[in-house]
C-alpha cells in the first residue's frame, strides 16, 4: 500500500537504513537532510539509458543499500525504479518528485532508453511504497521545464480518459487532474505556492490514472521525438496530442472537462495553449526524419489507443506534427 506524505516526516523511515539516493544535479539546492548515511547516484541523463541504470545497480550492490530514495523529476524516479527492477532485490522505494508532470511516483512502470529506443519496465513491486509531495521543491524549477511537465500531466489525463482500458476509477483521477491543472495553471506558472501545490497534486492524480490504463498514441509517437530532437518528454507528447485527437475526433466528454462544448473546440484550445506557452515543433528537421519517426512507432504500443492508425496515417500525423 502506497503512503503519501506532504512534508519530510517520511524521512524518519530512513533511520538505521542505508539508502541509495538517486538524484539529479540540482539536488544540493534543496538542502535536504537525511537522518543517516546515504549513497548518492547521479550518473544518469535527463532521458536515462539502460547503461546508466546498470551502473546504478552496481553502486547499489557494492554498497549493500537496503532502501532507494528518488529525489527529482521523472528521470530520477524512473531510474530508481529501473535500478530496483534490474537489481532483482526486494527493497522499498521512496519517491520525492521535484517536478509536477510525470506522475512517476504514482505508477508501477518506468521508461528508459536502449540504443535510442524506448524500453519499458513494469511490475507491481515498482510502485513506490512512500511518496513525499512537497510543493516547496518546485520553486527553483525553470519556467520551460514547468511548462513541459504540466503539459505531460495534462496529456496523461486526457489519454488515460480515452484509453481502451479506462475505468470509472481512472476517469475520476483524470477529471480531477484536469480540474486542478486548469484551475491553477496561471498561479503555477507564476511560481506561487498554491499553484505549485495544486499542480503537484494534479500530476499525482494523472499518474494514478495512467497507472491503471497506461498511455496511448500521443505518448507512443513522442518517444522518438524526444531522442531525435532532444525535446523534453512533455514537450514532445504535447505537440503530438492535438494532431492525434483531431484524427480520432469524438470524446466530447473530455472536451466538457476542459470547459469546451465539443472536441473541435477542445483541440483548438489545446493548440492555442501550446502557442501561448511557446511550445513549438522542432526546427532542425531533416528530409528523412518523417520516415525515421514513422518506423520508430511500435504497433503494440498503439494497442491501447481507441483507434488504430496504420503506417500511412502515422506518417501523415508526423508531417502535421513537424509542419513539413
- What domains lie within the chain, and their CATH numbers? 3-138 (3.40.50.1970), 143-322 (1.20.1090.10)
Give residue 298's pLDDT. Answer: 83
DSSP summary character for residue 283:
S
Q: Determine the Cα–Cα distance for residues 151 and 102; give it in Å rounded to an integer.
A: 9
DSSP class per residue in 196-263: HHHHHHHHHHHHHHHHHH---HHHHHHHHHHHHH---HHHHHHHHHHHHHHHH---HHHHHHTT-SSH
Give residue 284's pLDDT. Answer: 87
Residue 184 DSSP SS3 = helix
The mean per-residue pLDDT over the stretch 88-105 comes to: 93
Give residue 31's pLDDT. Answer: 86
Confidence of residue 60 (pLDDT cuts 50, 70, 90): very high
Tell me the three cell numbers of residue 151: 503539459
Strands 3-5 and 130-132: parallel
Residues β-bridged to residue 131: 4, 95
Query: Within 123-216, where are the H helices?
Result: 143-162, 168-189, 193-213
Q: Determine the Cα–Cα distance for residues 219 and 163; give it in Å rounded to an integer.
A: 12
Confidence of residue 52 (pLDDT cuts 50, 70, 90): very high
Mean pLDDT rounded to a whole number for the chain: 94
| pLDDT tens digits, 122-162 | 999 999 999 999 999 999 999 999 999 999 999 999 999 99
| pLDDT tens digits, 249-277 | 999 999 999 999 999 999 999 999 999 99
26 has pLDDT over 90: no
The mean per-residue pLDDT over the stretch 289-302 comes to: 91
DSSP class per residue in 16-71: T--EEEEE-GGGGGG----SS--EEE----SS-BHHHHHHHHHHHHHTT--EEEEE
Give residue 4's pLDDT. Answer: 92
Amino acid at each position: 500500500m502506497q503512503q503519501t506524505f506532504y512534508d519530510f516526516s517520511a524521512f524518519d523511515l530512513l533511520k538505521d537504513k542505508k539508502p541509495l539516493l538517486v538524484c539529479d544535479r540540482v539536488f544540493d539546492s534543496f538542502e535536504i537532510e537525511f537522518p543517516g548515511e546515504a549513497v548518492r547516484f547521479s550518473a544518469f541523463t535527463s532521458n536515462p539509458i539502460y547503461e546508466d541504470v546498470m551502473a546504478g545497480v552496481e553502486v547499489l550492490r557494492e554498497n549493500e543499500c537496503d532502501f532507494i530514495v528518488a529525489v527529482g523529476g521523472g528521470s530520477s524516479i524512473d531510474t530508481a525504479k529501473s535500478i530496483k527492477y534490474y537489481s532483482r532485490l526486494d527493497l522499498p522505494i521512496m519517491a520525492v518528485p521535484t517536478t509536477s508532470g510525470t506522475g512517476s511516483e504514482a505508477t508501477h512502470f518506468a521508461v528508459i532508453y536502449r540504443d535510442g529506443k524506448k524500453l519499458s519496465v513494469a511490475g507491481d513491486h515498482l510502485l513506490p511504497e512512500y511518496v513525499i509531495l512537497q510543493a516547496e521543491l518546485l520553486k527553483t524549477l525553470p519556467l520551460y521545464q514547468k511548462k513541459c511537465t504540466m503539459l505531460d500531466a495534462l496529456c496523461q489525463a486526457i489519454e488515460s480518459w480515452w484509453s481502451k482500458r479506462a475505468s470509472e476509477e481512472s476517469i475520476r483521477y483524470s477529471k480531477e487532474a484536469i480540474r486542478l491543472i486548469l484551475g491553477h495553471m496561471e498561479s503555477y506558472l507564476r511560481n506561487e505556492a498554491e499553484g505549485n501545490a495544486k499542480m503537484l497534486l494534479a500530476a499525482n492524480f494523472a499518474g494514478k490514472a495512467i497507472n491503471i490504463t497506461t498511455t496511448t498514441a500521443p505518448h507512443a509517437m513522442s518517444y522518438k521525438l524526444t531522442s531525435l530532437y532532444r525535446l523534453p518528454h512533455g514537450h514532445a507528447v504535447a505537440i503530438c496530442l492535438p494532431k492525434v485527437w483531431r484524427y480520432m475526433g469524438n470524446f466530447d466528454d473530455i472536451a466538457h472537462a476542459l470547459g469546451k462544448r465539443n472536441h473541435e473546440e477542445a483541440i483548438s484550445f489545446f493548440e492555442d495553449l501550446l502557442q501561448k506557452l511557446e511550445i513549438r515543433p522542432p526546427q532542425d528537421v531533416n528530409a528523412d526524419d518523417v520516415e525515421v519517426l514513422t518506423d520508430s512507432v511500435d504497433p503494440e504500443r498503439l494497442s491501447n489507443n481507441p483507434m488504430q492508425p496504420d503506417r500511412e496515417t502515422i506518417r501523415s500525423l508526423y508531417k502535421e506534427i513537424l509542419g513539413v
